[in-house]
Amino acid sequence: MENCIFCSIVNGDIPADKLYEDDAVLAFKDVNAQAPEHFLVIPKEHISTPNDATDEALLGKLSITASEIAKDRGFAEQGYRLVMNCNSDGCQSVFHIHLHEKH
Ligand code: 5GP
Ligand code: ZN
Question: Does the Cβ of 58 fall within 6 Å of ligand 1?
Answer: no
The pLDDT tens digits for 42-98 are 999 999 999 999 999 999 999 999 999 999 999 999 999 999 999 999 999 999 999
Q: Which residues pair with 102 in a beta bridge?
A: 38, 81
Give the helix, strand, coil percentages of the chain, each rounded to 5: 30, 20, 50
Of the listed ligands, the closest to the CA of 9 is 1
**Choosing from 38, 46, 96, 98, which is the catalytic residue?**
98
Q: To 5 degrees, how large is the angle CA 92–CA 47–CA 30?
A: 50
| Predicted structure pTM score | 0.98
Q: Is the CB of 48 under 6 A from ligand 1?
A: no
Half-sphere exposure of 72 (CA within 13 A, CB side): 9
Closest ligand to Cα 94: 1
